[in-house]
Structure 1
Amino acid sequence: MMTSGKTKLPSSVDIVVIGGGIIGLSFAYEAAAAGRSVLVVERRRCGSGATPVAAGMLAPVSEAEATLPGMVEFGLESSRLYPDFIAHTEADSGMKCGYRTEGTLSVAADRDQMEQLEHRAATHEELGLKAQRLSAREVQQLEPGLSARIVGGLRTEIDCQVDPRALSAALVVAGSARGVVFANATEVTSVELDPNGAVCGVSLRSNKESKGADSPHNRINVRNLVLCAGAWTPELIPELSDLPLYPVKGQVIRLRGDVAISHVVTSPDAYLVPRAGGELVVGASMEEQGFDDRPTAGVTMDLLGHAWRVLPSVYELEIAEINVGFRPTFPDHMPAIGPIDLPGAFVATGHYRNGILLAPATAKYLLAIMDTGEIPEVIAKFTPHRFAAARPAVVTTTMEIEP
């Protein structure tokens, strides 16, 4: 055994996962449950990055862009996997994940917004899903705390929610119970290739150590490498540097107090997600501003104003947190899941607004690709090779990665 900080590292594993967000943690747990030895490497702390900022809405139709090929189907598939995914995670961890099934209540303040809800209802019904149209009076009966200016709504029963912070913490404990090793505050400094150009090892360095020439490195033998570091994924190895992935900044507010709703409530301008313990998550902005992690007064005012127009009692709630996260996004708003032009290496990133929703399906099908070498039809459209600028593999003995 070697060490990274206080973590004892194995000398050899089946899979190294780079990135300890919801995608990496879900895949590591799935792979370990299937009998693989797994090491998760996270440069900060597992469960950090975009994951703890996310609201955790599981809305495969309401939140999906219906024009994107395969996204609704993939979201529905992942939604179907969620009950067992949560049950297994909670059983292995002994922790609750904040999984709730009350559904989503989408509300409208005028005729145009009602027409949008009617279109959404029709989409659900075309897919064989229940969508309950509600009058203004029925909305008030369901959620009496909502504003009297609401003229109608739509309740979608398939939608659920999970607490991403609780889920990621539970996945670490559940993964550990299955034998996953987690190396926090650790970076991959190089990827070693065998004579055939396939991944065979990685070198790691603890961020807690000096980054000088004498810093200790741990070498790990590995069969497969999974790259899922969110918006930072293209920085991991040269083969990914041409992926057109970019961050979309999201600002989210967490309020605390007597929360007057039980459903997730959405309007065209904001969403409100109630949590156990008197928390209300309000979001979210969509900003293409690079990695600018500063929360801003303007967005905070806008989000609170939108929330107040739906739920007037937010005026009395305490502001507990204002968070910023970066959604990993491709120009086509679809993820990249599958092998890259480096034998033994795989990528799973670009989930945009749906990382929490798509985590179970991403884990399941990425592991299936790794096992069989075949691309399941449900994720065929998400191949990383759809980007023409992808670079071919460079066969060398060792690839050094800039610190």
Structure 2
Amino acid sequence: MIGAGAIGLGTAWHLAQQGHDVSLYDPRLNQSVDREGSAKDLSGTSASLGVLMGYVFRRRSGRGWRLRRRSMELWPQWIEMLQAHQPDLKLHPGLLQIARDEQAAERMESLAAQRVDLGLQMVNNADLATVWPTASHGGLHSRHDGRIDPLLLQQALRKALAEQNAELNATAVVHLERNDNHWRVHHTDGNSSIHDCVVLCTALNSDVLLEPLGQVRPMTPVLGQALSLRLTTGPTTWSNWPSVLVNQGFNLIPTAPGRLLLGATVEPGDRASEDPLTLMRNLNERAPEWLCSATVVGNWSGLRARPMDRPAPLLEELEPGLILASGHYRNGVLLTPGTAEWVTTAVEQA
């Protein structure tokens, strides 16, 4: 396994649980998992807010929907097992999407009617008054979607892997070499190792390893920013709030009395501009006053890998023993269990 974000860690853990010998390579493994104050250039997982938008996915068929649904089915089991390693890790259920216009509301109504059994329900303006009083077209509530803290998730998976006796190597891989029916993995320290199978969970670094092999799967960086806010007015206990409120593509996540995370901008490129921070705080001039007057106590940014000319994520066996599980874009945490299951099947069939 190469890459120790949520996908790499989760896949390595699932493989180890199934009895496979696992070696995981990533220089970040000797670094603590945190996001203190303000930070730039965080990994995709650490920069993530851990939002699970599974059942509100609009498509009704295809690989994307199957992967989301399977991951949402698996997450409660994963959380229960991982709590033995990180008791604070929880699945925080409840996600509310605010409809921005009448057309969006109609699409939500159609989706809710189809997925009543999956916990979807429309919410009218009156019921939204105490949460988002500027809503004028209702919203869609998903009882089972929600959020997982991505920092606690990484901590739990690292501890779980250590107890599975997986080999955790805090070193980068610089080159892959075909070696008969095996793969030689070359490390930055000049050493190398032989493996039956290599799984790449390396996001934007994938091309460095793939291009010398004649494999091209281009991905483009997409930057996301997030704010940690302290409120001076407005909600304090969040008693009527869901775990995640989504408005105009922005995620608002209560974390403590008077504290809130706000984020999930989508900016092409790899450098943050100042404008999105203002945009996020005002939500295109539709934010309530208590949000506009909140104090920023932290902000960070991170890069996500978006596949070019192919749908996300990239799940492929490129050649015998070489598996790509990358390019999850904005859904790495959400799709971790489903991806781990897919990779395990691919490894066992290789």
Alpha-carbon separation, structure 2, partners of 1:357 and 1:242: 26
Alpha-carbon separation, structure 2, partners of 1:277 and 1:233: 41
Report whether the alignment pairs 1:107 with 2:98: yes
Alpha-carbon separation, structure 2, partners of 1:55 and 1:68: 26
**Identity value in percent:** 24
Report whether the alignment pairs 1:53 with 2:47: yes
Report whether the alignment pairs 1:29 with 2:9: no
Cα distance, 1:236 vs. partner? Answer: 2.0
Alpha-carbon separation, structure 2, partners of 1:229 and 1:146: 39
Alpha-carbon separation, structure 1, partners of 2:148 and 2:257: 14
Secondary structure of the corresponding residue to residue 226 of structure 1: strand
| 1:220-257 deviations in Å (ceiling 9; x for gaps) | 23221111111221222323652122222222222245
TM-score, structure 1 as length reference: 0.75
Given candidates 172, 196, 202, the residue that maps to 1:229 is 202
Alpha-carbon separation, structure 1, partners of 2:113 and 2:193: 51
The one-letter amino acid paired with 1:271 is N
| 1:108-149 deviations in Å (ceiling 9; x for gaps) | 46xxx2431331231243244333222222112xxx253345
| 1:16-44 deviations in Å (ceiling 9; x for gaps) | x1111110000011111112222211133
Report whether the alignment pairs 1:44 with 2:32: no
Alpha-carbon separation, structure 1, partners of 2:22 and 2:257: 34
Cα distance, 1:302 vs. partner? Answer: 0.3
Structure 1 vs Structure 2 CA RMSD: 2.5
Cα distance, 1:307 vs. partner? Answer: 8.2
The one-letter amino acid paired with 1:339 is E
Residue in 1 that maps onto 2:80: 87
* Structure 2 runs not aligned, ≥5 long: 34-41
Q: How does 1:153-232 map to 2 (within 5 A)?
A: 153-184=139-170, 186-194=171-179, 196=180, 198-205=181-188, 216-232=189-205
| 1:79-134 deviations in Å (ceiling 9; x for gaps) | 0010001111112x143224211x1112246xxx2431331231243244333222
The one-letter amino acid paired with 2:223 is K
Alpha-carbon separation, structure 1, partners of 2:61 and 2:47: 25
Q: Describe the shift of the 1:169–1:200 C-alpha distance in structure 2 as closer, same or farther (beyond 3 A).
A: same
Report whether the alignment pairs 1:303 with 2:289: no
Cα distance, 1:310 vs. partner? Answer: 4.2
Alpha-carbon separation, structure 2, partners of 1:303 and 1:371: 45
Residue in 2 that maps onto 1:352: 329
Cα distance, 1:275 vs. partner? Answer: 2.5
Report whether the alignment pairs 1:255 with 2:229: yes
Report whether the alignment pairs 1:71 with 2:64: yes
The one-letter amino acid paired with 1:107 is I
Residue in 1 that maps onto 2:124: 135
Alpha-carbon separation, structure 1, partners of 2:213 and 2:258: 46
| 2:183/2:195 contact within 8 Å kept | yes
| 2:58/2:111 contact within 8 Å kept | no
| 1:253-300 deviations in Å (ceiling 9; x for gaps) | 2224575533111112422122257642212222222xx23x322000
| Larger mean Cα displacement after TM superposition, 145-154 or 238-247 | 145-154
Alpha-carbon separation, structure 2, partners of 1:159 and 1:240: 40
Residue in 1 that maps onto 2:36: none
The one-letter amino acid paired with 1:220 is S
* Structure 1 runs not aligned, ≥5 long: 1-16, 206-215, 374-403
Alpha-carbon separation, structure 2, partners of 1:296 and 1:318: 19
Alpha-carbon separation, structure 1, partners of 2:260 and 2:322: 40
Q: Describe the shift of the 1:24–1:180 C-alpha distance in structure 2 as closer, same or farther (beyond 3 A).
A: same
Q: Describe the shift of the 1:192–1:232 C-alpha distance in structure 2 as closer, same or farther (beyond 3 A).
A: closer
Aligned length: 331
Secondary structure of the corresponding residue to residue 18 of structure 1: coil
| 1:145/1:311 contact within 8 Å kept | no
Secondary structure of the corresponding residue to residue 236 of structure 1: helix
Residue in 2 that maps onto 1:146: 132
Greater Rg by CA: 1
Alpha-carbon separation, structure 2, partners of 1:307 and 1:35: 51
Q: Describe the shift of the 1:249–1:68 C-alpha distance in structure 2 as closer, same or farther (beyond 3 A).
A: farther
TM-score, structure 2 as length reference: 0.85
| 2:55/2:142 contact within 8 Å kept | no
Cα distance, 1:72 vs. partner? Answer: 1.5
Q: Describe the shift of the 1:319–1:28 C-alpha distance in structure 2 as closer, same or farther (beyond 3 A).
A: same
Instruction: Extract structure 1 runs of 4+ deviating beyond 4 A.
Output: 45-48, 148-151, 257-260, 276-279
| 2:215/2:318 contact within 8 Å kept | no
